[in-house]
């Protein structure tokens, strides 16, 4: 009877572990997609800023407009940095879920503390997920 209970507990633990790894892998893929979107936006903003510099040099736009374009590019770079941080965190969670170091609870606790400290970055991340 004890053997049967241990077998059932083991099977249940395996199912839970698979679900945990699958969830972590899904979050990693989602964060990778967000980071890739942010990277594409940075590349577009950089190209736009370079075009704005040429327009300013020809006198087609003002310095104020050029600075606004620079500010937009800097915001996109900030969003990319946040997305890359979230991606790195998702990687740590995946590694923890397959038993490679940090515990999931410790990483999740750190993530919750980070969310309290940096609410703007998480709002930006949510906007990237749902533009």
Domain hosting 111: range is 2-129
Note whether 89 and 107 are within 8 A (CB). yes
Residues 6+ apart with CB under 8 A from 128: 34, 37, 38, 79, 83
Structure tokens at 121: 């970055």
Alpha helices in 59-117 (DSSP H): 63-97, 104-117
Distance CA 72, CA 33 (A): 21
The total of structural domains in the chain comes to 1
**Average pLDDT per consecutive 10 residues, the chain (131 residues; last block may be shorter):** 75 86 93 96 96 96 95 96 95 86 53 51 54 46
């Amino acid at each position: 009877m004890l053997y049967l209970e241990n077998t059932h507990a083991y099977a249940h633990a395996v199912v839970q572990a698979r679900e945990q790894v699958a969830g972590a892998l899904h979050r990693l893929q989602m964060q990778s997609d967000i980071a890739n979107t942010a990277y594409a936006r940075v590349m577009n903003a950089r190209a736009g800023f370079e075009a704005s510099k040429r327009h300013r040099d020809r006198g087609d736009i003002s310095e104020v407009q050029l600075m606004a374009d620079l500010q937009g590019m800097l915001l996109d770079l900030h969003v990319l940095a946040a997305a890359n941080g979230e991606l790195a965190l998702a990687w740590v969670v995946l590694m923890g879920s397959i038993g490679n170091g940090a515990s999931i609870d410790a990483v999740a606790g750190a993530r919750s503390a980070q969310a309290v400290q940096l609410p703007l970055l998480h709002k930006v991340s949510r906007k990237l997920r749902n533009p």
